[in-house]
Every structure is written in structure tokens, then in C-alpha cells.
Structure 1
Amino acid sequence: MNSETVAIPAGAITLAGDRYGDPNGAPVVFLHGGGQTRHSWASSARDLAGEGWQTLTVDLRGHGDSGWSPDGVYDLPQFAADVVAIADFLGRPPVLVGASLGGNAALSALGGDVELGLGLVLVDVSPFVQRTGTDRVREFMAANAETGFASLEEAADTIAAYQPHRKRPANLDGLRKNLRERDGRWYWHWDPAFLRGVSDDAVQRNRILDPVHLGAAAASLRIPTLLVRGGESDVISVEDSARFLRVVPHAEFASVGGAHHMVAGDDNAVFEDVLADFLDRRIRSRLDVFAEVDA
């Protein structure tokens, strides 16, 4: 299925997105994790659009083809404001599907406006996380942020060492979407200043990891909510998941066995089945009720 590239105004910057499916269909917005781009969601967005949904993948600020923060600030209020801008662009509440950073951004935005979304899917992220896992992600991102790589092969080797459970791809063309070439070297396709948003401070107010703010946002949720955990995740534990479900008792939970933090990338087929089932049962049924009321 073909996509349409869209430009989304977000204050001083513009966000880049790809839209799939019927523009009149109910929207599902995919928000990637820190250090990734919208292309990490392309397969899921394309498949779901084939089921009648309008899907939109978006590069978060400082990532991919989206603008970089002019002041170099990347905090939860900034990312949450961008989610609001995406909803405004669509002109109707979307289902928000967010992995890691994208999930925090969506949850924070909903904490400010409970009517912003039609539903929420958090992919291996919650207000409650394991510091060892988040530290490992940050260390991987920081290792080559400034120096880059001499070649795509070197970048692929680094990723393979970080994700030994995945088979190293023979074709490296896909890496070009997550890297940019400059002066003969390859750099991650995100602003290095983004890492300053992931603070080592004991109190992380407004930072990417802000359990107090995100916990309060979670407690305010009233829309259909699904938490998806990678069965082998070192970022979200079983106990973290249970804690989230106590805060959001109406939420559903699914575990993708064998998947690590990047759930969709590890087992996209199972993840898509889980997502499609949730959307059909919890979202499509609500849309049908709204349609009957409007009629």
C-alpha cells in the first residue's frame, strides 16, 4: 500500500509523517522509540491500513526528517505538545500507539487532555521501568552519537552486538533510513542533544522518564488502553506491568513471548495480531456506537 508524505506544523518546527489508507478512516498514530524513526512502524501501519484504518507514522522532533528543537531542549512537555499537534492535524481523536519514548509522549499528552485520544497502546513502556534496562538503551545510543560510523557495515555490527537475539540483516539498505551520511561517515538520524533529555538526576521532572508525572497521567486515563510487554524485556518487568494495571484497572495487558524491548521489531506478526484484536474489540465497537448515535 502506498503512503502519502505529510508535514505537520508543531510550533517552531515541522514533523514529518507518512499516511496510509483511507484519509476518512479512523486514525491510528504510530510513535516510535527514542533514536528510531517513523520507518520502524511502516510495516504495521501498512498492514493495518489494509484493514480499513487510516494510519500515520510520525518522526518525533529531533528524529528522522522532523525538525530539531531550536533551543536543543527535548523534554516531555515538548514531545507531548507534538502529540497534540498531530491530533490537531488529523482533526479528530486518534488511537495512539507508542513505543518507549513515543509511549511516554502519548501518555503525557493524554494527561493534559483526556479527550485527545480514542485509545492508547503502550509498547514496552510505562511510568514504571527498570533502570538497568533504560541505562543500557541510553549507553547504546550515546556510544556513537558524536563519532558516527565509518560504514553501514560498522553500524550493523554495533546493532548486532546490542541485539544479539536478532539475526544480522544481509541487506543493509534499511539502515539508511536510520542513519545520515556526512563527510564520509554515518551518524544516527537524530539530534545528539536529545540525550540530554534523558537525565541521570534523581528527580526527573519533565524529563523523558518522569514517574510522578506519567503515573498521574496514567491514573487519569478513561479511554481503552493496552499495555504490551516484550516477554524478555529488561525495561519493563512483570512487576512494573502489574503496577501499571493497578493504576489503570480498565487497561488490558499482552505479553509477546520471546520479544525484547523493541517488541514489534522482534516479532511483528504477533504484535500486529495483538494490536488488531484490541482495535477491533475496543475501538471499532466504540466507533460503531458513535455512528448509531449520530444516525
Structure 2
Amino acid sequence: MSDIVPTGRRIEGAAGVQIVLDEWGRPEDPLVLFLHGGGQTRHSWKRAGSQLAGAGMRSVTVDLRGHGDSDWSPDGDYSLHSIRDDIVAVLSALGGKATLVGASLGGLTALLVADTRPDLVTRLVLVDVVTRIEQSGSERIRDFMQSAPEGFASLDEAADRIAVYLPHRTRPRSTQGLRKNLRQHEDGRWHWHWDPAMFRTPPDLNPLGMAAELDAAARRLRVPTLLLQGALSDVVSDEGVDHFRGLVPHLKVVRLDGAAHTAAADDNDAFARAVQDFVLDR
């Protein structure tokens, strides 16, 4: 179903920040909203969005504030609470209750949305993220996102940097897909497609500093909840999963053996099947 073309749209989020999204499927179909991880864009979900639309769902992928084509925050506010408020505004504009699928930063956002506005959420899918993540894995992500502040001379140079960061993946022969994740500046150099101001977030608003709030939100979860754990992940450990299961007794866990923290891209077919089965309650 890769030939299904999405419809682009802009929705006003919190404090006037414009959020860009792509939408597949019919308005009357079950709504599935995808929230990417830090440093990614809505294009990370393109294959899954198209596949689920082909299976009869209304798939919507979002660029979080400061990422992709969405606005950068004018005051550098990238707290989880503000991102959550953006997504609440998006859901209200879409006009329906949704299954939220969130990876990493998007997963923690989805958890807070489900806690704050349970009336807007039917199901919750967390992609390799729990409330107690491994600090070493989190720091590796942060280090990668802060790397190359001077940009890259070419897409091949960027691809080489990504290959080092994701050693479990085969380096793609073509670098054209990277055009969705990098911006080319007037000097010809390529820069990551996110706002560097995200790293000026105060420590008390960093997910690692919100463990108590996130745990409390998890305890209050009542919607069906699925955790897709990347078996190769350095961010979510078995101990972290056990802790989260203690907070969410009705949690269902599916382990993706060929995937790391970037689980949806590492094994898209297994990821899409798991989400589809969960949404359709199979």
C-alpha cells in the first residue's frame, strides 16, 4: 500500500506554534496518531502510516514542535508539557478519539496526553520507552543529536555519521531519504532538521528528571496499553520493563527481536503488524 499518498495539513498547537502533519485514510476510520522520537520527523512513520491506512485506519503522523516542518518554539520551550499541549490541540482539531503511538520522546508525550485527556485516547502504544529509561542510552541519543553543529558537507557524510550511531542497521545505498531529516543551508551544508534550542531545556523539565510525574501518570492509565520493546535497545532494559509493568498491570509487551531503540524503522513490518493487531484488538 506504499502508493497511498497522504494529505498534508497544519494545525495550531500551544502558544500559536504551527504543527505540521500528514494524514492517510478516511475520516470515519479508526484514528491512529503517530508521535516520533527526539530528532526524528513525521516521515519516520511513512511506511507504517501507509500500511495501516491500507488496512482501514486513519493514520496521522506529526512533526513535533521544533522538528521537521513544524514551527520552532519562539521562546525555546520544548518541555514535555508544552509538547503534550500541542498534541491535545491536534487531537481536538482532528475531531476523534485516537490510538496514540509514540516513540521515545513521542511516547512520553503520549503517556502525558492519555493521563491529562483520557477522553481523547482509546489505546496507547509505547515504542521502546518506559518511565525509567537507561541513562547511558539516553545520553548516547543526546550526544548524537548535539553532534555536528557545523553541519555536513554532503548527505554521504551525514549517512556515515548515522551508520556509526546505528551500527545494527545496514547503511542504505541511497542517501536521498535523508533529505527529509536534514535542511540544506545557503552555504550548501546540511544540518539536522530540528531546533538546537531543545538542548537548553532546564533539567527539571528533562524526561530523566520527571520520573515521579511519569510514574504517577502510568499508574493512572486505564486504556489498553502496548509496549513494543526493541530487543537490541540500550534505552529500555528488562528491569525498566518490569518497573513499568508494576505501574501498568494490564500492560501488553511485544519484543521486537531485530530492533533497537529505533524499533519502527529497524523492523517496520513487525512493528506495523503489532500496531494493527492491537488497534483491531486481534
TM-score, with structure 1 as normaliser: 0.91
CA contact (8 A) 1:15 1:59 kept: yes
Deviation at 1:207, TM superposition (A): 2.4
Partner of 1:207: 206
Partner of 2:113: 109
1:155-199 alpha-carbon deviations (Å, 9 max, x no partner): 0000001111111111111000000000211000000011223x6
CA contact (8 A) 1:231 1:258 kept: yes
CA contact (8 A) 1:3 1:19 kept: yes
Q: CA–CA distance in 1 between the matches of 2:206 and 2:217?
A: 14
Q: CA–CA distance in 1 between the matches of 2:162 and 2:224?
A: 35
Q: CA–CA distance in 1 between the matches of 2:207 and 2:246?
A: 22
1:257-279 alpha-carbon deviations (Å, 9 max, x no partner): 02110001111111111111111
Q: CA–CA distance in 1 between the matches of 2:193 and 2:74?
A: 17
Partner of 1:288: none
Partner of 1:70: 74
How large is the RMSD of aligned CA atoms in angstroms? 1.1
Same amino acid, percent of matched pairs: 48
Q: CA–CA distance in 1 between the matches of 2:192 and 2:91?
A: 28
Map 1:1-295 to 2 at 5 A: 1-10=4-13, 11-144=15-148, 146-182=149-185, 183-197=187-201, 201=203, 204=204, 206-209=205-208, 210-281=210-281
Letter in 2 for 1:249: P
Letter in 1 for 2:28: N
SS in 1 for 2:163: helix
SS in 1 for 2:49: helix
Partner of 1:293: none
Letter in 1 for 2:174: N
Q: CA–CA distance in 1 between the matches of 2:89 and 2:73?
A: 15
Q: CA–CA distance in 2 between the matches of 1:27 and 1:216?
A: 26
CA contact (8 A) 1:76 1:208 kept: yes
Q: CA–CA distance in 2 between the matches of 1:193 and 1:151?
A: 24
What stretches of structure 1 move > 4 A for 4+ residues in a row?
Answer: none
Q: CA–CA distance in 1 between the matches of 2:207 and 2:248?
A: 20
Q: CA–CA distance in 2 between the matches of 1:6 and 1:208?
A: 29
> Size of the alignment, in residue pairs?
276
TM-score, with structure 2 as normaliser: 0.95
SS in 2 for 1:19: strand
Deviation at 1:8, TM superposition (A): 1.0
